Amino acid sequence: MIRKWIVMLLMMIGVTLISGCWSKKELTDLALIAAFGIDLDKEGRYVGTLQIVNPSNVAGSQQPGGGGGQGTAVSVLSTTGDNLDEVSRRASTKISRRLYYAHANVIVISEKLAKKEGINSILDAFDRDPEFRNTATLVIARGTKSADICRALTIIDKIPANKIIKTLKTTENRWGENIFTNIQDVMKSLVSDGKEPVITGIQLNGDPRQAKNLENLQVSSPEAILQTNGLGVFKDGKLIDWFNGKRARGVVWILNKIKSTDVNINWREKKDAIAYEVIREKTSVSATMKNGNPRMSIHVRAEGNIGEARAPVNLTDPGVLKKIEKVLKKEIKHEIQDAVQAAQKNKADIFGFGEAVHRSAPDEWKKMKLDWNDKYFPKLKVNVKVEAFVRRTGLRNKPYSSNIGK
Amino acid sequence: MEKAKLSAYQLFVLVLLFELGSAILVPLAIDVKQDAWLAILLGMAGGCFLFLIYLCLYYYYPNIPPAIYMQKIMGKAIGRALALLYILYFTYLASRVLRDFGEMLVTFAYPDTPMFIVNALLMMAIVYTISKGIEVLARAGELLFVLIYLLAITGFILIVVSGLIDINNLKPMLEEGISPVIKVVFTQTLYVPFGEAIAFTTILPYLNNPKKARVTAISSLWLSGINLALAMAINISVLGVDLASRSQFPLLSTIQSIQVADFLERLDVFFMLALIIGGFCKIGVYLYAAVSGAASLFNVKKPSKLVYPIGLVVLIVSLAIASNFAEHLKEGLQVVTILMHFPFQVIIPLLLLFIAFLKNRKKTG
Amino acid sequence: MPSFFKNRKEKKDDQDEKNSKKLPQFMGETLAGNLEIIKQRTGNSTDVVIRILNIGFQSEIKAAIVYVEGIVNDESVNDFLIESITNNRALKERMTKQNVLETIAEETIALGNVQTVNKWDELLVSLMSGETIIIIDGTNEAIIAGTKGGEKRSILEPSTELSVRGSRSSFTESIRTNTAMVRRIIKNPNLWLESIKIGKVTKTDVSIMYIKGIANDEIIEEVRKRLTSIDIDSILESGYIEQLIEDQTMTTFPTLYHTERPDMVAGNLLEGRVAIFVDGTPFVLLVPVVFIQFFQSVDDYYVRYDIATAIRFLRIFVFFISLIGPASYVAITTFHQEMIPTLLAIAIAAQREAVPFPALVEALMMEVALEILREAGIRMPRAIGSAVSIVGALVIGQAAVQASIVSPAMVIVVSITAIASFATPSFAIAISARLVRFLFMLAAATIGFYGIILGFIMLIVHLCSLRSFGVPYMSPLAPLIPVNTGDTVVRVPWWTLRQRPRLIGNKNNVREGKGQRPVPPENRGMVNNMIEKGDRDDS
């Protein structure tokens, strides 16, 4: 009995000691990567830019021995390679610690790369690696190199990658011209025959050289600032167009991603006189077959409040509200139709209409799926139906301007 | 046979954990894409039928382990050979599950650790358990059952709350008609995981209330089938058909997609818990089946002495059966199904039942 | 401290016994000879008082009263023994050499417990346990009068098992007081008590108490068997017995419950358990026990069920923290950095930036420091206690962090773990969790969460393999006994707890009538009447 236990104990100690440190990685031996940027250099090789967090510069200045809050929150370095694995491994020549990708939440792809080579060939590395998260956000560096995006320091959020994510989330929730797409979503769209991906663009306003200076942050209005801008439309994995402003929002309407936004309408010749805040929105897309041709119907149902009224308007009158709703419907419908037409012109089904057809008419879909984007989608008849409801008008009923001069 | 008694509830729990075991982790029946859940449910129905065969045999010989009643049915020599084959079959299956398990853990969490260590550690826990006897395994199962269901319910709520489920991914149903589903049922889901319940023939004799065996086992199979179908449906609705079919472990990808309130994310440890508990129970039952079979075949008085050598064999075989994961999976789907699952789970039990039926009819007549 | 002296005395006594094997077994006829033997056997111990009296009225009858000073009740010896023997004239007249023994035993002594013996061994054991011996010249028998007593501690509040609500009394060192305290709670003739003496030298009184008809006879028999088979020289505390009768020795988990609360014992007796009282210690053993019992305190039954249930959940949660708290920290910071939210990962990384040790070493250092502090806190004279806590707080708190020896996060983890282990109601289980915690830390440092989960499974398996007097340790959870799960992790209302634990007392299981749920009457008596009246008046 005792001997058995001693043998067991020795075995356990043995296994413990042997296995010792294989997969072990101390936190202090890791370089936490916050963002990963990908560019193409002149020879067509990949340039990977790693935004590495300096923990002690992020987590406040009370840390003993950390120096505290003096330097930049992140350090950035770039390396080149023929594929991303090589880039990542080669980067170890420049940094003392093991690169750790589990916290890389942002992937920045340069516009040039997205246009020229497409994103099909680069996502596998992220998908396959167990360390990398499929929930990482994907953005396109619009008009700049992705390295510049990674290098830019940001205000308020110390870690630039966090700033990008939060900005994307907030603007998706509040404004609705951009969407928050992670690698998994993009890959799903890339693989699907009936859907093409859209990816939000991010651009650097200002001088890239200014953006990486700490001094840039010490002024009240930084010279260079990161900003989301537009939706990149992809076809066959390549960036083909940018949708901006209301057209981009039209896309977001159809994708049922609007959480709240602001729609302006004209009132009695006064332009953009009334601001309508959407608080709830639901879009459903369905496909029907008519004479062998698919036909889409989009149904949008928006609820919201009046956020601002710059013209004298009697908001206590339900009839007036009905009128406002009518104008709103037109406005939203217009945005959506514009987006659909633009997409049809680009021959890229970014709305997932094909998938809707697949679901409702699987047999016909088999015939159409191969040249859906080029043949069927551009000619698709899309029926848009919008319902908009004004639920409340805020703290006041009539605007004060209606009482001026009375 | 050791002196032990199991309650019906314990059998229920063991069957459930065994069925969920590794099946919930792998892309089960993904060949039929969004209809995988249907294939699982149909497989479950078939599995229940198979289990009824095993139960009939058990009711003919309620207190005798299969290794002995095989000899009674088929005669000493053939019966012994069959029993030996079954022991080898269970040992092999135990090492297959262990290999699955080791591969998963090495792939997603411990890339630098040799699989030997990972497998050896799990085997150590299992050998320790089995050497304590079936009662202890059953009791531990009862507690782990609660744990794994708490986990599943939490996971389910989190998935729903984070708004990941897109039912549209499950449409259209039966895109290619019913025939591919039927094909998958008869080549895959019927055997793995449902037919694998044949390992429980070695445990049935311990039941303290044999009458309840049928209801318990069948309801447990039902529940496990529904759970598996639900899990697979969730995987597909979250990941989409393409990603789910490309994933080695769809459940892991599903869990990794969870993001609630910026805090409840990266819940890999959930998956790891499910993985280890599932692997533990499944390998445990297989190992027990092999050990108790060997004990009754070779008349070993203390079955716990056989646990160490057989456990070691399982460990070594698990490393030796394939040189890489792809080979391992291919073997599992093609070779093992035809050469092993089909004869061991269907043909031999049917044959045994037939002969037992004839013999018993003679006796009564 | 009577017990201490008693013990020392008896050891000496025993040595003498060994030295002189040739001593007679039975008493002799002459008083002088008998007294000589007593003196010899007790080594002339100075606390053995021998008082020679002359009883008898006309003829001289010499008698001796022998007792051990300090362990007898002086009052009984003086007032009821010496006084009544010497001053009872009427009796004295009737006494002759032939009937003196009977007369004294039956008529004179005004004490409850009187018997006559003639064996030296019995006589001496009685003498040493505080009884008074009366030896009369010319008889070969002696009277033993029950005069046990002496200084003992009064009943105080429990010091290790405090409760907010419930009885404030705790057991003392005197076995008779202890059993009496339980008797006072359960006034039922079925409360049976059996006594034996264990310990070749100490002759310690050990009693088992159970309720006949509720306790399982097999378990009582098993307890009896295990107790009688103990062969040891001394029993100084119930811990001796605990270690000699437990089912499984290779475990850190207690398979007997010890308590110093009479209400706890009474409650458990009523569930069908058997209590083992040991003289000289306030800790009473209860068998058989189940794992979940260690997370229950008497309070749970006194407060309402919802609160009791919430508190039990908390305790289980706390137990997990105290098991795997530091282990999880080690696993997360050395293996699974991806599992924590990014900002938290950065915060911990920043804290660990200047710490020169790996996480395991850091955790071990802090845990060991904590254990040292805790141990010091227990042994320390009370006056220095506060100094320890100040130094401890400085060392394992602020200073260690500022010196970059440990990270602040580690301090938090260790503190939570420490508090968690204090919050477990049973010290026995808390201390085993402390030990197992180190194993978990090693497992975590070896292979991360995989190690923790494996360790956890093995822990479950181990717990499931334990038995306490034949009862599975994890019951009624595993094996599941649905009727009894109401009083495990949860505590359902009293009016639904109709059955006693099945595995423990397997007969007479129903303990309350049906329909005990309070149903308030429709008409709420006076209060409502007044309100209704008031309403009418208003309207």
The domain that holds A266 is classified in CATH as: 3.30.300.210
Cβ neighbour number for residue A193 with a 10 Å cutoff = 17
pLDDT in tens, A333-358: 888 888 888 888 888 888 888 888 88
| Pairwise CA distance, residues C429 & B264, whole Å | 32
Q: What is the mean pLDDT of residues B26-41?
A: 85
Contact between chains at C341 and B263 (C-beta distance less than 8 A): yes
Specify the number of domains making up chain C: 3
Q: Which residues of B touch C471 (CB under 8 A)?
A: none
User: Same domain for C184 and C313?
Assistant: no
Residue A14 in any domain: the answer is no
| pLDDT value of residue A70 | 66
Residue B129 in any domain: the answer is yes
Contact between chains at B269 and C472 (C-beta distance less than 8 A): no
Strand partners, A306: A276
Residue A15 in any domain: the answer is no
Q: Which residues of C touch B10 (CB under 8 A)?
A: 479-480
The residue with tokens 């050395």 is C334
Split at pLDDT 50, 70, 90, the class of C526 is low
> What SS3 class is residue C44?
coil
In angstroms, the first-to-last Cα distance of chain A is 102
pLDDT in tens, C260-278: 999 999 999 988 899 999 9
| pLDDT value of residue A68 | 44
Q: What is the mean pLDDT of residues C326-348?
A: 86
Residue C385 in any domain: the answer is yes
| pLDDT value of residue C11 | 47
Domain boundary (A187, A211, A243) is at A243
Residue B332 vs residues B286, B327, B339, C39, C450: alpha-carbon distances, Å: 16, 8, 10, 88, 26
Give Cα A378 to chain centroid, integer Å: 25
User: Same domain for C330 and C361?
Assistant: yes
| pLDDT value of residue A20 | 54
User: Same domain for C307 and C285?
Assistant: no
Instruction: Please name the residues in contact with A174: beta carbons below 8 A apart, sequence gap of 6 or more.
Output: A259, A260, A261
| pLDDT value of residue C2 | 43
Q: Which residues of B touch C479 (CB under 8 A)?
A: 7, 9-10, 138-139, 142
| pLDDT value of residue A15 | 63
- Give the one of A5, A32, A65 whose C-beta lies nearest to C354's C-beta: A65
Is the pLDDT at C341 greater than 90? The verdict is no
User: Same domain for C243 and C340?
Assistant: no
User: Same domain for A397 and A263?
Assistant: yes
Contact between chains at A135 and B265 (C-beta distance less than 8 A): yes
Return the closest-CA partner of residue C411 out of C440, C372, C370, C360.
C370
pLDDT in tens, A180-193: 888 888 888 888 88
User: Same domain for A176 and A157?
Assistant: yes
In angstroms, the first-to-last Cα distance of chain C is 75
Is the pLDDT at B240 greater than 90? The verdict is no
Q: Provide φ and ψ at A290, rounded to 5°.
A: -130, 120
Is the pLDDT at A378 greater than 90? The verdict is no
Specify the number of domains making up chain B: 1
Angle value at C-alpha C505, between C504 and C510, nearest 5 degrees: 125
Is the pLDDT at C30 greater than 80? The verdict is yes
Torsion A394-A398-A402-A406 (CA) sign: negative
- Give the one of C250, C353, C401 whose C-beta lies nearest to A28's C-beta: C353
The residue with tokens 């009695």 is A268
Residue A82 vs residues A37, A48, A86, A116, A122: alpha-carbon distances, Å: 15, 10, 7, 16, 11
| Pairwise CA distance, residues B92 & B315, whole Å | 10
Specify the number of domains making up chain A: 2
- Give chain C's radius of gyration (CA, Å): 31
Q: What is the mean pLDDT of residues C352-377?
A: 84
Number of helices (H) and strands (E) in chain C: give both, helices first. Answer: 20, 12
Domain boundary (C145, C164, C197) is at C145
Cβ neighbour number for residue A288 with a 10 Å cutoff = 14
Residue B191 in any domain: the answer is yes
Q: What is the mean pLDDT of residues B151-158?
A: 88
| pLDDT value of residue A74 | 87
Searching chain B, which residue's CA lies closest to the CA of residue C450? Answer: B272
Q: Which chains touch C (3 or more CB pairs under 8 A)?
A: A, B
User: Same domain for C285 and C307?
Assistant: no
Q: At what angle do helices C408-422 and C342-352 cross, to 10 degrees?
A: 100
| Pairwise CA distance, residues A44 & A46, whole Å | 7
Q: What is the mean pLDDT of residues B237-258?
A: 85
pLDDT in tens, B297-335: 888 888 888 898 999 999 999 998 888 888 888 888 778
Residue C394 in any domain: the answer is yes
User: Same domain for A232 and A253?
Assistant: no
Is the pLDDT at A115 greater than 80? The verdict is yes
| pLDDT value of residue B284 | 93
Tokens of B175: 């895109």
| pLDDT value of residue C367 | 86
Q: Is A96 on the interface with C (CB under 8 A)?
A: no
Pairing of strands A137-141, A198-205: parallel
Residue C150 in any domain: the answer is no
Number of helices (H) and strands (E) in chain A: give both, helices first. Answer: 13, 13
Q: What share of chain B is helix, strand, coil (3-state, %, to 5)?
A: 80, 0, 15
Residue A51 in any domain: the answer is yes
Domain boundary (A218, A243, A268) is at A243
Cβ neighbour number for residue C159 with a 10 Å cutoff = 9
**Mutation to test the C interface, candidates B2, B266, B268, most C Cβ within 10 Å:** B266
User: Same domain for A127 and A111?
Assistant: yes
Contact between chains at C354 and A66 (C-beta distance less than 8 A): yes
User: Same domain for C432 and C320?
Assistant: yes
> What SS3 class is residue B175?
coil
Split at pLDDT 50, 70, 90, the class of C182 is very high
Q: State which amino acid sits at residue A137.
A: T
Strand partners, C499: C510
Sheet holding C204-211, edge to edge: C191-198, C204-211, C274-278, C284-287, C257-259
Any idea of the CA torsion for A349, A353, A357, A359, to the nearest 10 degrees?
120
| Pairwise CA distance, residues A366 & A378, whole Å | 18
Residue A349 in any domain: the answer is yes
Residue B71 in any domain: the answer is yes
Domain with B130 in it: what CATH number? 1.20.1740.10
Residue B181 in any domain: the answer is yes
Angle value at C-alpha C311, between C308 and C313, nearest 5 degrees: 110
pLDDT in tens, C98-134: 777 777 777 777 777 788 888 888 888 888 888 888 8
The residue with tokens 């109601």 is C425
Q: Which residues of A touch C348 (CB under 8 A)?
A: 27
Chain C from 393 to 432: CB within 8 A of any A CB: 401-404
Residue B97 vs residues A189, B223, B278: alpha-carbon distances, Å: 34, 21, 10
CA count, 13 A, side-chain hemisphere, C76: 23
Angle value at C-alpha A92, between A89 and A93, nearest 5 degrees: 115
pLDDT above 90 as % of chain A: 1
Q: Are A106 and A161 in contact (CB under 8 A)?
A: yes
User: Same domain for A311 and A187?
Assistant: no
| Pairwise CA distance, residues C108 & C84, whole Å | 6
Residue C525 in any domain: the answer is no
Residue C98 in any domain: the answer is yes
Q: Are A321 and A224 in contact (CB under 8 A)?
A: no
Tokens of C461: 């398996």
User: Same domain for C439 and C311?
Assistant: yes
pLDDT in tens, C471-484: 899 888 888 888 88
| Pairwise CA distance, residues C505 & C288, whole Å | 10
| Pairwise CA distance, residues C160 & B325, whole Å | 57
The residue with tokens 């007997």 is C256
| pLDDT value of residue B123 | 92
- Give chain B's radius of gyration (CA, Å): 20
- DSSP output for B320-365: HS-SSHHHHHHIIIIIIIIIIIIIIIIIHHHHHHHHHHHHHHHHH-
Split at pLDDT 50, 70, 90, the class of B129 is very high
Q: Which residues of C touch A51 (CB under 8 A)?
A: none
> Alpha helix locations (H) across B24-133?
36-60, 66-74, 76-108, 115-131
Residue A11 in any domain: the answer is no
pLDDT in tens, A29-74: 888 899 999 888 888 888 889 999 888 787 654 544 444 446 788 8
| pLDDT value of residue B365 | 52
Contact between chains at A20 and C347 (C-beta distance less than 8 A): no
> What SS3 class is residue A102?
coil
Q: State which amino acid sits at residue A232.
A: G
Q: What is the mean pLDDT of residues C229-244?
A: 90
Tokens of B156: 């389910």
User: Same domain for C88 and C34?
Assistant: yes
Split at pLDDT 50, 70, 90, the class of C208 is very high
Q: Is A166 on the interface with B (CB under 8 A)?
A: no
Give Cα A241 to chain centroid, integer Å: 16
| Pairwise CA distance, residues C511 & C517, whole Å | 14
| Pairwise CA distance, residues C79 & B318, whole Å | 85
| Pairwise CA distance, residues C419 & C435, whole Å | 16
| pLDDT value of residue A65 | 44
Residue B3 in any domain: the answer is no
Contact between chains at C450 and B266 (C-beta distance less than 8 A): no
Q: Is B277 on the interface with C (CB under 8 A)?
A: yes
Residue B2 in any domain: the answer is no
Angle value at C-alpha A245, between A244 and A250, nearest 5 degrees: 95
Domain boundary (A228, A243, A258) is at A243
Indicate the DSSP class of residue A109. Answer: E
Element (H, E) at B259: strand B259-260
| Pairwise CA distance, residues C278 & C199, whole Å | 11
- Give the one of A15, A22, A191 whose C-beta lies nearest to B121's C-beta: A15
Searching chain C, which residue's CA lies closest to the CA of residue B264? Answer: C341
Q: Which residues of B touch A257 (CB under 8 A)?
A: none
User: Same domain for C39 and C119?
Assistant: yes
State the residue range of the domain holding B317: 8-360
Residue B179 in any domain: the answer is yes
C41: left (phi over 0), alpha (psi -120 to 50) or beta: alpha
**Mutation to test the C interface, candidates B101, B143, B208, B270, most C Cβ within 10 Å:** B143
Indicate the DSSP class of residue B61. Answer: S
User: Same domain for C308 and C450?
Assistant: yes
| Pairwise CA distance, residues A173 & B186, whole Å | 48
Residue C510 in any domain: the answer is no
Worst-scoring range by mean pLDDT, C51-55, C412-416, C417-421? C51-55
Contact between chains at B113 and C447 (C-beta distance less than 8 A): yes
| pLDDT value of residue C225 | 92
Q: Are B290 and C358 in contact (CB under 8 A)?
A: no
Residue A143 vs residues A50, A208, A235, B299, C156: alpha-carbon distances, Å: 19, 12, 19, 79, 82
| pLDDT value of residue B141 | 92
Q: State which amino acid sits at residue A100.
A: Y
User: Same domain for C125 and C183?
Assistant: no
User: Same domain for A81 and A211?
Assistant: yes
The residue ranges of DSSP E strands in C263-315, in sequence order, are 274-278, 284-287
Pairing of strands A270-290, A293-309: antiparallel
State the residue range of the domain holding C29: 2-145
| pLDDT value of residue B33 | 80
Whether ipTM > 0.85 holds is yes
Q: What is the mean pLDDT of residues C139-165?
A: 83
| Pairwise CA distance, residues C502 & C510, whole Å | 10
Worst-scoring range by mean pLDDT, C77-81, C228-232, C295-299? C77-81
Residue B87 in any domain: the answer is yes
State the residue range of the domain holding A274: 245-406
Residue A22 in any domain: the answer is no
Searching chain B, which residue's CA lies closest to the CA of residue A17? Answer: B117
Q: Are B87 and B290 in contact (CB under 8 A)?
A: yes
Q: What is the mean pLDDT of residues C58-86?
A: 81
| pLDDT value of residue C227 | 92
**Mutation to test the A interface, candidates C329, C337, C411, most A Cβ within 10 Å:** C337
Residue C270 in any domain: the answer is yes
Q: Is A17 on the interface with B (CB under 8 A)?
A: no
pLDDT in tens, B169-193: 887 787 778 888 888 888 888 888 8
Is the pLDDT at C397 greater than 90? The verdict is no
Residue C527 in any domain: the answer is no
| Pairwise CA distance, residues A192 & A197, whole Å | 10
| Pairwise CA distance, residues A208 & A145, whole Å | 10
User: Same domain for C417 and C373?
Assistant: yes
User: Same domain for A138 and A77?
Assistant: yes
- Give the one of A16, A23, A27 whose C-beta lies nearest to C349's C-beta: A27
Residue A225 in any domain: the answer is yes
